[in-house]
Chain A
């Protein structure tokens, strides 16, 4: 493929924002008929580079060539006319319109001054058929899964004469089989000669699908590599700019084991007996000791989040019993759970966690304040003390605690969520996908925090779809499948292959 000329060539691209040099002389080449992964931590400049290519931003210096000719798209629309199409992480579709309407919105085929529904539906079917998706295109979009919605978003851009397809974090909300489906489509499109630029945080997926990798770091071009010639460890090293052994989590294994062994001697702070909710999660037993990290491993939809929601009182159990610190309790609301000393960081930071328009300080003290009640108002001084302490101890990067939370990066928002619950001094903290969608460096920091907290005696329930993370952090792992807890693994049993085999049904 490298003997053909690149379809896109970006040379010495520079782009600065007030206070930040987002891109410093970045080179990038994209060939037809390849899947090219753009890798880098948050702030590496991936989004900015894509936005220059799609005409959202204009570069300060450097040039962009499309099929050898310099282009200067001044809007995403202009870029689209040139054949450069992007599908972003947050799918911009109308859920209440039909699949066909979504595909043809703004350019509906007309007949006698009216929309030609027949043609529109037929062509929608053809387009989706190209992606191996066969659905009723007259149904509204919200009746289909996220994966199908993603396909519809792709079908929409494929209709125009696409030469370049940019997929920005397309897999972050898909489960494994949906990812496979998407990859199949990507391979098909690649073989048809389309140039695909793929951005993801998942390292494994990069290796599954990409032919070539470009790595950026802090706005600088690190290098362009053929995927087959770049070992995974080397890629991580290049992305981080440091050796993996620098991170202490790598050597946490034996400590976890020690914790697991000492566990029997400690009393359980949380114990569930046949706790369940019909239609949500089958009855399960669970016990969590002080200072223990209990990992919940399972695929998307396996019941991990449902379990957490039940323990935190978002959903109310209809069977079984729950004990907190040896006492039988019934938790019927998040507030009730909070008063028992339970905290919960939702996997959906944006919709269920962060208050974008409130300050970081207010975000941090909110749970503590709501536990203390309306009238025991924390003074401004006290709020500031708590917030500053948390910002310091968790390493939240912000000029001031009075900045809006919306100004923080994903990783820092996650730390704010953590801070909110730590401020309440919980005895049990449930972390649902605390590392999702944040860069590798912040992931490691958050995992370090988790281990530190467990050392201080906090009982933690840690949910992650990345099994290696669960294994590194947990002293016990509960494996879930199809809304049921199917096994509990400890010590030597805690390996990725064992978890996967357990889920697959073997031993």
Chain B
């Protein structure tokens, strides 16, 4: 059973199993879950919804993966999403005829830039000031909502500029536009981390920051830039969120996203203790969360207990990820001891 062993040893295996089980559940218990129709020239159905609605989460998870790999955490991303949405909405403007105040592309670039700077602020606090990541990003978690509110003058700004809707609502070749954004970002990040030594350095810093420093790695810079990049990802996710609902709401845009993003990374197999990271795993993790959300709606779980159901399922998936639990469950591996 060598192939089975080598298969189960791959980190991506168990997240995929979890996703498959969720899908299988839907196949049997949710009618029409997998039905895909063609409406107005694009694909339409639950599965497409999962991909489309899950896009912001996947974007956040990519940035979060690198942060967590350095043994950090970024709980400000939800608020940064709101900042991004606020900035882009104010720059494009709520003109009823859809005439943008500033060019759309420039507006988006500025919003993402602002968010990257927000990420740099986090990175500075963690890497230079030496604050604990959760405290450092807690500052922006709180202040970010305020910044977003100030940006939009504490109002919900509605947008009518049609081309901007492409990001969150548009389709190319029948698939949601946002999905392409995820794929492009994922491929870019995978290439930059794995084809250069960046990935190894990030892992080294996450596993043992002192040893990394002693091996000549500039740990401070690496930590600084992963937070900046997480801000960048949150900025892009914010554009998609804003475009999906064509409005910016400082209070509610991206609310609770940070926890789902962290969960996606953890479900994907990257440990909160830092070290080895799995980008594709995080994407699968985000898909698991999104599938779960859709399943709960589609299956008709009463809204008052839906969060509890979600929690229970997440709990089970987390257990499934634990090697200790699996060997306990199956007894296949038995009790293993190693001479020390």
Encode B193-232 as 1/0 by CB contact (under 8 A) with A: 0011110110110011011111111100000000000000
B203 touches A352 (CB 8 A): no
The range of chain B's interface size is 20 to 34
Chain A residues with CB under 8 A of B212 = 355, 366
Encode A313-352 as 1/0 by CB contact (under 8 A) with B: 0100000000000000000011100110000101000011
Chain B residues with CB under 8 A of A338 = 215-216
CB distance from B2 to the nearest CB of A (A): 15
A366 to B216, CA, bound (A): 9
Chain A residues with CB under 8 A of B195 = 377
CB distance from A89 to the nearest CB of B (A): 11
Chain A residues with CB under 8 A of B276 = 357
CB distance from B66 to the nearest CB of A (A): 14
Selecting from B131-139, B170-178, B332-340, the interface stretch reads: B332-340
Contact of A353 among B198, B211, B217, B338 (CB under 8 A): B211
A314 to B195, CA, bound (A): 30
Encode B301-340 as 1/0 by CB contact (under 8 A) with A: 0000000000000000000000000000000000011111
Check A145 for interface membership: any CB of B closer than 8 A: no
A369 touches B197 (CB 8 A): yes
Q: Which of A18, A335, A355 has the most CB of B within 10 A?
A: A355
CB distance from A199 to the nearest CB of B (A): 13
Chain A residues with CB under 8 A of B56 = none
B211 touches A352 (CB 8 A): yes
CB distance from A438 to the nearest CB of B (A): 14
Closest to A19 in B: B339
A366 touches B340 (CB 8 A): no
A372 to B214, CA, bound (A): 15
B337 touches A352 (CB 8 A): no
A377 to B203, CA, bound (A): 15
Contact of A352 among B197, B200, B210 (CB under 8 A): B210
Contact of B196 among A48, A335, A354, A374 (CB under 8 A): A374
Total contacting residues, chain A, CB less than 8 A: 38
B197 touches A377 (CB 8 A): yes
A187 to B338, CA, bound (A): 34
Check B275 for interface membership: any CB of A closer than 8 A: yes
A362 to B195, CA, bound (A): 14
A434 to B196, CA, bound (A): 32
Chain A residues with CB under 8 A of B336 = 18
A334 to B338, CA, bound (A): 36
Given A351-B210, A355-B208, the answer on whether A377 and B196 have CB atoms closer than 8 Å is: yes
Q: Which of A43, A57, A334, A354 has the most CB of B within 10 A?
A: A334
B216 touches A357 (CB 8 A): no
A371 to B218, CA, bound (A): 10
Given A17-B339, A22-B339, the answer on whether A366 and B214 have CB atoms closer than 8 Å is: no
A373 to B197, CA, bound (A): 8
A420 touches B201 (CB 8 A): no
Check A248 for interface membership: any CB of B closer than 8 A: no
A366 to B219, CA, bound (A): 13
B337 touches A17 (CB 8 A): yes
Chain A residues with CB under 8 A of B340 = 47-48
A351 to B211, CA, bound (A): 7
Chain B residues with CB under 8 A of A370 = 197, 201, 215-217
A420 to B337, CA, bound (A): 30
CB distance from B195 to the nearest CB of A (A): 6
CB distance from B61 to the nearest CB of A (A): 21
Chain B residues with CB under 8 A of A22 = 339
B197 touches A344 (CB 8 A): no
A366 touches B200 (CB 8 A): yes
A355 to B336, CA, bound (A): 23
Cross-chain pairs A/B with CB under 8 angstroms, 30 sampled: A47-B339, A47-B340, A48-B339, A312-B214, A333-B213, A333-B218, A334-B216, A335-B218, A346-B211, A352-B211, A353-B214, A354-B208, A355-B211, A355-B212, A356-B207, A356-B208, A357-B203, A358-B200, A358-B275, A366-B200, A366-B212, A366-B217, A367-B215, A369-B201, A370-B215, A370-B216, A370-B217, A375-B197, A377-B195, A377-B197
